Structures are given as structure tokens and as C-alpha cells.
Amino acid sequence: MSEDKNISNQLFKGVLLLLVGAAMLGGSGIFVKISESSPSLIAFYRSLFALPFLYLWMKFEERGNLKKINLTNRNRFFLFLGGLCFALDMAIWNWSLSFTSVANATLMANTAPVFVVIFGILLFGYKIKLSFIFTLILALAGVSLVMLPGKQDMVFGDILGIIAAFFYAAYILSIKDITNVLKPAKTLFFVTVITSLCLLPASIIEANDLRISSSEFYILLSYAIFSQTIAQGMITSGISKISAHLSSLILLMQPVAAAFYGWLLLGELLTSFQLLGGLIVLIAIYMASKKN
């Protein structure tokens, strides 16, 4: 009985962390839109500026725990893969914002659950219930309503968003595998270190100069704290507590939140269809959580 209660508590905590983290991460596009830096440089500083805060979180999480963990080659592989895929996801997604709306870019990037399910079944042997597939389709239908009024002529930006989703799915599965061994803070810290290193050469090639203005510094520092440290920290903790495919479905709150932020801060259209779509996504998340 106590074991069932513990599982239920873990599920509740995981879902709550992912919902809040996804709602916060949905505002990432705002920082990218107001930044004057190139897409890869924005992603690089998001990772780099977050490292001191992630390091402090890691040390706080490890306090009093002297147990040494020996990483296997598999663990190291997924750490590197997670960092590389997150770098590609952020850089490509940031570029997509140059060619499409915040809502569309976030929507396309969050088709990741489809890739998570496919990769999970083919590569990891995950057993996924048919009811979850139907719930995922319902959630994606809701997300489609959210982006319905968006500009549909921005095909290139939407394609970039889908490519970003491919790498985001690989990132989610990597994080899930690593958090079976490492605590969330240590996982996110090391993955972010690798992400920063991967983004550095791309940023130098793309921007020619890593220097930024003082006003840009504060924008990117805020972006790093808000999106990478707090939001991504919550998401990593949430993923460590529940399955990868349920995590990816809950993260569909991001385009819903992005549409809201776009309406509130950028004056982008928000209609009754989008509100209905957001409600459908919430219902789908509730259904998936109850059946998990």
C-alpha cells in the first residue's frame, strides 16, 4: 500500500514539475525574439550563463552524499548525446523563430512526443499502451488548434521546428536514461556543459564575435536563469520521476504557453479556437497521467 502511494506521489510530483517547467519554457521564444544576437549565440549564452546556477544546485542536491558513482560507457554516451542533441535542438529552434511565429515554432518543436514514442519502441523496447497513442493524438489535435490562426506561409521555419523536435526527442530519451544513474541537477549540469562546448564553434562561425552589449547581457542572463536553470531544471527533475513518453506529452504545454505569451507580450492573435485547443491539451495530459 505504501509502495503504491509512493509511486502515486512520484507521478504527481513529476507531472507538476513538468507542467510548471513547460509553461515557463513556453516563454523562451520571447527572449529569442527580443534578443539582437544570432540564433546559435543566443543558445550558447543560455547554456553558458546557466552553468554557475546549475553548479550551485548540483552541490546543494549532493550535500551530505559522499557516495561515488562510476559512470559506464553507456552513461557517458548518453551524456554526450544529450548535450549534443540539446545544442542542435536549441540552435535550430532559435533559427526557426526567424522564419515563423513563436506559437508555430514552439508547436513544431513539440511534435517531439511522436519521435519519443517511435524511438522508445524501436530503440529502447518501451511498452506503450494503445490508449496512450490515442491520448497523444488528442493532445496533438489540441496543439494544432492552438496554432491554427498562425501564419501558414512560413514553411521553412516550420520545417526547422520539426527538425528541432527530432533532436529534442533524442534529448528527452537521453536525459531519462542518465537520471536513472545521476541526480537531476548533476545530469543537467554536465549535459549543459557539453551543450555549451558544442555551441561554441557554431556561435563563432555564425556571429564572428562572442562579445555582446551590456543590455544584451542582461537579456541573455535572464534567459539562462528563466529557461535553462529554472524551467529546464524542473523538466529534468520531472523526467527523472515518470516515463519518457508521458514526459514528452506533458511538454506539449509549451506551445499552449507560447501562444499565451505571444498574445500577452507580442500582440499575436489568440482566438477561441486556441483556447479550446489549450483545454484539449490539458484534458489529454490529465487522461495520460491517470492511465499511466
Convert the pLDDT of each residue in 40-67 to its tens digit: 899 899 999 999 999 999 999 888 776 7
* Cα separation, 256 vs 262, whole angstroms: 10
How many Cβ atoms are within 10 Å of 34's Cβ, its own excluded? 12
Residue 39 has pLDDT above 90, yes or no: no
CB 291 within 8 A of CB 132: yes
Instruction: Give 291's pLDDT tier (boundaries 50, 70, 90).
Output: low
pLDDT value at residue 83: 94
Which position has the higher pLDDT, 226 or 64?
226
pTM value? Answer: 0.84
Long-range contacts formed by 55-61: CB under 8 A, 24+ apart:
55/189, 57/185, 57/189, 57/229, 57/233, 58/183, 58/185, 58/186, 58/189, 60/185, 61/183, 61/184, 61/185, 61/186
